[in-house]
Amino acid sequence: MIVAEQKPLAEIMDRTADAGDVLVLGCGTCVTVCFAGGDKEAEILAASMRMKGDLDGRTQRVSHATVQRQCEWEYLDSVAEQIGSADTVVSLACGIGAQAIVERFPESHMVPGLNTRFYGLPTTHGVWEERCAGCGDCVLDYTDGICPVARCSKGLLNGPCGGTKDGNCEVSADTPCAWYQIVERMEKLGHLDRLAEVHEPKNWQAARDGGPGRIVREDLVRERDREAVGLERVSA
């Protein structure tokens, strides 16, 4: 899932200082699961903003709402009226949901309330760890299921480097070395000979290096949308 953290209250207050009406908009999916931007967090942030606003002498109205997913326009449409009447929407979604608001409602003023961090896994209660960087060319098969792109500090495709010590990465003693884990796992599975394979540089064009990502599933695009997404129409 997408993992995010809430921005400090002071930063959110600063960025909403000029707004008379503020809508704090939560998202009911990934950021609910990581306790950053669900309905409960939206309610608490709205209450905190009202209290801080009172203390600072602001005359600002702050309300809150939550949609199932901010990253789909259909869900955003259910709060179109509230978004339309707010001077500023504080989005408690990941960066995708936050941008969906301004794409669907171009007149709106949106302030991100979260910092989106990574695609991660909850490894124990209250702990999320990065597991994937969306590189667009998955190599998990030759690393026996442990991602060297997201989990090795250098993103090495051939490791480990000389910085691994006692199973940890040289960046810090509490960061496991992904390549140490890969080697351990290869050994357990009887694949250690694979370590001798040299992997050529990856094609990074499928990742951020190739510009913004886009997937077009031709078979799913509606006839009326084909030209707009750069496809030829099927029927004349």
Residues that bind ligand SF4 (CB under 6 A): 132-135, 138-140, 147, 149-150, 152-154, 156, 159-161, 163-164, 169-170, 177-179
CA 236/CA 232 separation, integer angstroms: 10
Smallest gap from Cβ 135 to ligand SF4, in A, equals 3
Whose tokens are 């990941």? That residue is 94
- Pair type for strands 21-27 and 110-112: unpaired
Token duo for residue 43: 């309610």
CB of 69 to ligand SF4, least distance (A): 22
- Residue 178 has a CB neighbour count (10 Å cut-off) of 24
Q: Minimum CB separation from ligand SF4 for residue 148, in Å?
A: 7
For the bound state, the minimum distance from the C-beta of residue 132 to ligand SF4, rounded and expressed in Å, comes to: 3
Report the residue number, 107 or 197, with the smaller CB distance to ligand SF4: 197
Of 115 and 153, the one with the shorter C-beta distance to ligand SF4 is 153
46 or 135: CB nearest ligand SF4: 135
Q: If you compute the radius of gyration of the chain from its CA atoms, what whole number of angstroms results?
A: 22
Q: Are strands 21-27 and 88-92 parallel, antiparallel or unpaired?
A: parallel
Task: For residue 7, count other CB atoms closer than 10 A to its CB.
Answer: 19
Nearer to ligand SF4, 17 or 138 (CB): 138
